[in-house]
C-alpha cells in the first residue's frame, strides 16, 4: 500500500463586502494581524507569530471571477482549544453562530460562525474521545 498524506492548507482568501468590518472581526475573534499589501482594501493575514507563522491568508473585497459569479467565500475549519469560548468571542466581535456546537464522535466538537460579511468559518476542538 502506498502511503498517502493530505496536503496542508497553504493559503486561504476571505472575500468580504465590508473589508474593514471583516478585518476587525478576525482581529478580535482570532487575534490575527493584518498588513496592507497591493491594491486598496487588500490585506495579507498573519495567523501566527514569528516562530509558528501559520497559514498564509488574504482578506480582499468580494469580486467576480466570471461575470455574474460572485465569490461568496470559502469554508475553512480552524483548530481551537475551546469551541464554546470561540463562539462567544465570535458573537462579541460581530459574528453570528450558523451551527451551534456539534460533536463528531471520535473527532471533536465543531461550531460554524459567520463573519460580518456572511462568510462561514468552522472551528473544531479536536478530541479523540468525543462522543
Domain membership of residue 1 (yes or no) is: no
d(CA 110, CA 27): 21
The mean per-residue pLDDT over the stretch 70-91 comes to 86
Is pLDDT at 7 greater than 80 in this prediction? no
Is the whole-model pTM more than 0.95?
A: no
Is pLDDT at 90 greater than 90 in this prediction? yes
Is pLDDT at 65 greater than 80 in this prediction? no
Which three cell numbers mark 81?
482549544
Question: CATH number for the domain including 110?
Answer: 3.10.180.10
Is pLDDT at 71 greater than 80 in this prediction? no
**Per-residue pLDDT reduced to its tens digit, 16-61:** 999 999 999 999 999 999 999 988 889 999 999 889 988 889 999 9
pLDDT band at 130 (very low <50, low <70, confident <90, very high): very high
Domain membership of residue 100 (yes or no) is: yes
**Per-residue pLDDT reduced to its tens digit, 96-128:** 999 999 999 999 999 989 899 888 888 889 999
Residue-range definition of the domain harbouring residue 92: 11-126
Is pLDDT at 5 greater than 70 in this prediction? no
Q: What is the pLDDT of residue 73?
A: 66
Domain membership of residue 98 (yes or no) is: yes
Give the chain's domain count.
Answer: 1
Domain membership of residue 131 (yes or no) is: no
d(CA 120, CA 74): 7
d(CA 59, CA 25): 12
Amino acid at each position: 500500500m502506498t502511503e498517502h498524506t493530505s496536503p496542508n492548507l497553504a493559503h486561504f482568501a476571505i472575500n468580504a463586502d465590508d473589508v474593514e468590518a471583516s478585518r476587525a472581526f478576525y482581529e478580535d475573534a482570532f487575534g490575527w494581524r493584518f498588513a496592507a499589501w497591493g491594491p486598496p482594501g487588500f490585506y495579507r493575514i498573519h495567523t501566527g507569530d514569528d516562530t509558528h507563522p501559520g497559514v498564509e491568508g488574504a482578506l480582499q473585497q468580494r469580486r467576480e471571477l466570471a461575470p455574474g459569479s460572485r465569490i461568496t467565500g470559502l469554508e475553512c475549519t480552524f483548530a481551537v482549544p475551546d469551541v464554546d469560548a470561540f463562539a462567544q468571542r465570535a458573537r462579541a466581535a460581530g459574528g453570528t453562530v450558523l451551527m451551534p456546537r456539534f460533536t463528531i464522535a471520535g473527532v471533536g466538537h465543531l461550531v460554524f460562525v459567520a463573519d460580518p460579511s456572511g462568510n462561514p468559518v468552522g472551528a473544531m476542538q479536536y478530541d479523540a474521545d468525543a462522543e
